[in-house]
């Protein structure tokens, strides 16, 4: 009986976790820090939109969040260009709760995603703003 229980426990632990259903927001709130001047700028960018701050051009491809817990996590697909350079300085997904996992590596600017926007005029959760 103990052996059967151990085998069942192993099978349950080895089973893949069900994938979370991800939804697309209509945009994202993005924060940009100019490390040279100390200026902090918050952008509200819609999917497919490009916005400029200083020498940066930030394009949001999509912002996704889990359907079960809207406030928990946002994932934004960003393409960031510096000045008029052809090659982007960043292209990929940034995570709102862990921006350091896939961060922009630039000497002057820090960019991170705050949250996905799920409806007009509202993000997914309030953020403590220290500006």
Q: Is residue 29 assigned to a domain?
A: yes
Strands 75-82 and 56-66: antiparallel
Kindly state the percentage of the chain with pLDDT values over 90: 54
pLDDT tens digits along 36-65: 999 999 999 999 999 999 999 999 999 999
In the block, tokens 């922009």 appear at 104
Short-list 69, 70, 127, 121, CA closest to 99:
127
Domain count, the chain: 1
Q: Is residue 130 assigned to a domain?
A: no
Q: Is residue 98 assigned to a domain?
A: yes
Q: Is residue 3 assigned to a domain?
A: no
Q: Is residue 42 assigned to a domain?
A: yes
Written as one string, the DSSP assignment of 19-35 is PPPEEE-SEEEEEEEET
**Digits of tens for pLDDT over the chain (131 positions)?**
555 444 444 444 444 445 678 899 999 999 999 999 999 999 999 999 999 999 999 999 999 998 887 666 889 999 999 998 999 999 999 999 888 888 898 999 999 999 999 876 544 443 333 33
Q: Is residue 107 assigned to a domain?
A: yes
Q: Is 122 helix (H, G, I), strand (E, B) or coil?
A: strand
Q: Across the chain, what does the average pLDDT equal? A: 81
Q: Domain span at residue 31?
A: 22-123
Q: Is residue 2 assigned to a domain?
A: no
Are 24 and 62 in contact by the 8 Å Cβ rule? The answer is: yes
Q: Is residue 82 assigned to a domain?
A: yes
Spacing of C-alpha 82 from chain mean position? 20
């Amino acid at each position: 009986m103990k052996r059967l229980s151990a085998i069942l426990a192993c099978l349950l632990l080895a089973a893949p976790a069900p994938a979370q259903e991800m939804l697309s927001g209509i945009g994202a709130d993005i924060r940009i820090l100019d490390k040279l001047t100390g200026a902090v700028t918050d952008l509200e960018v819609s999917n497919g939109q490009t916005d400029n701050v200083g020498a940066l051009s930030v394009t949001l491809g999509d912002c996704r969040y889990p359907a079960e817990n809207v406030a928990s996590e946002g994932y934004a697909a960003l393409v960031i260009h510096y000045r008029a350079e052809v090659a982007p300085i960043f292209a990929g997904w940034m995570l709102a709760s862990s921006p350091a996992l896939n961060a922009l590596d630039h000497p002057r600017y820090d960019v991170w995603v705050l949250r996905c926007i799920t409806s007009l005029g509202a993000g997914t959760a309030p953020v403590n703003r220290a500006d």
